[in-house]
Amino acid sequence: MESGEFFGCAVSKGNLNKHIDSVHHKIKHTCDLCRKSFTTKVNLRIHIDSVHYKITHACDICKKTFSRKRKLKNHIDTVHHRITHPCDICGKTFTQKGTLRIHIDSVHKKITVPCKICGKKFSTKTNLRIHIESIHNKITHACDICENMFKRKVDLNRHIDSVHHKIKHKCDKCGKLFDQKRSRRRHVNVVHHKIPYACDICGEKFLTKRNLKLHINAVHNKTMHTCDSCGKTFSFKHSLKTHIDSVHHKITHTCDICGKKYSQKNDLRIHIESMHNGITHACDICGNTFAHKSYLKKHIDSIHNGDSQACDICGKTFILKSSLKKHIDSVHNGIKHTCDKCGRTFNFKGNLKVHIDTVHKKITHACGICGKKCSTKRDLKTHIDMVHNNIKYTCDKCGKAFASKAYLKCHTASVHNGNIPTSILISVEAETKPCHCGIIKRILLPQCASNGKTYTSPSFLDCAKRCLKNDGNAIYE
């Protein structure tokens, strides 16, 4: 069978009649209680039983309830009986027969279902239907409460449950609450069942199969996706698509409220939620707020859970794996990133981008409240936090408040941890050289009179001076 052809299977006369009624005759079965309509009588009956009559099917082992008997059976088979269905070709195992069948058709038989409009191929008819509805028919599902739009009905339902109904999904083992079932399932697999997905080649572990697959393709298989316009290569398809949309097609997503433009829809959504709708995600432990859930998760992992990534060469620890990789590339492997316009080199790609934007493109980021222009997004965020939102960072030890995290960090190091001596002698003949960011000059101070410590950042030094001066113990020359 050639790739791209639809394939048929023997079906009963009853199933054929259901197909004709629902697809071609468009027959709908309406609930008399809430007027919701369904394509089959079976789905209508399940709806009435679970939603209106509150009929559920409980698991005798763990007491978990399900709206359908089939879901209960799948739960018992996969969770308690640990029944799996192995692929006879590659040995990969699946919890459901349907998933195994899709795997065989798409991976081994290379059967795909093409879109007749654009030719794009999909592994399942379900994915094809979602593609046609969202891309070609522009079918979206709107939330009746806040009017947010979603491509898939399942995403709309998740949104309503977690955002408006505030439905939480509790872990039966530790009591932790989650907004979505899949988040709870991932938590149970990783934390309680200890099922991370390990790479057979290097041993690195991932929370999801998708991330493991992306890792293998990018790192070990060296699968690269090349831009036809400029030849630039990317490890991931979505990175290539983002590049083409933003760089070559110049696709931008504009905020209807303030007119700010973003290259990615997700960035626009985060902007609207945090800047205009005032939606923030607060840390239950310390109360710090974040514009996005991913930022909150990184904060909890690094600050409260103590998760850190150590460099095998020098022992330095980092909050994120990406930061560790950047450190190894720049410090130990000596990888440099050169500006095509002036030849200046940088340790990190991000610093090169900031340099090009500010020095060559003269890009500035204006404050929507007072109009002040900042050279980087980070500076703009700091400005808004300090000046307009009046965000303060309070020292847990003495209660003193600071305008930025950097000042608080320096204060803690100098005053409470004693990392900065109470007497610092500063020489005016200090050596100067370009900072790694390429924008400002940094002063390499001579060794400290007390412990020989050297300061390489003027902002950190200035902050240290402020902290010490406020404590009345500093001496400067």
Three-state secondary structure along 169-218? EECCCCCCEECCHHHHHHHHHHHHCCCCEECCCCCCEECCHHHHHHHHHH
**pTM score, two decimals?**
0.32
CB 94 within 8 A of CB 87: yes
Q: How far apart are CA 66 and CA 56, in angstroms?
A: 5
Contacts of 294 (CB under 8 A, 6+ apart): none
Q: How far apart are CA 433 and CA 63, in angstroms?
A: 67
Q: In this predicted structure, what is the pLDDT of residue 468?
A: 44
Secondary structure tally for the chain: helices H, strands E = 16, 30
Q: What is the DSSP letter of 43?
A: H
Q: What is the DSSP letter of 289?
A: E
Q: How many CB atoms lie within 10 A of CB 464?
A: 23
Please report, in angstroms and rounded to a whole number, the separation of the first and last CA atoms in the chain: 84
Q: In this predicted structure, what is the pLDDT of residue 443?
A: 37
Q: In this predicted structure, what is the pLDDT of residue 431?
A: 38
Q: Return per-residue pLDDT of the chain as tens, 477 residues.
A: 344 433 344 445 566 666 666 666 667 788 888 877 777 788 888 788 777 877 778 888 887 777 778 888 888 887 787 777 888 888 887 777 888 888 888 788 888 888 888 888 887 777 787 777 767 776 667 777 776 777 677 778 777 777 777 777 788 888 888 777 777 877 777 677 766 677 777 777 776 677 777 777 777 777 677 888 887 777 777 778 878 877 777 777 788 777 777 777 777 777 777 677 666 676 766 667 776 677 777 776 666 655 567 788 887 777 667 778 878 888 888 888 888 889 888 877 778 888 888 888 887 778 877 888 887 777 787 787 777 776 667 787 887 777 667 677 767 776 776 544 333 333 333 333 333 333 333 333 433 333 344 444 444 444 444 444 444 333 333
Q: In this predicted structure, what is the pLDDT of residue 49?
A: 78
The closest alpha carbon to 193, from 34, 101, 80, belongs to 80
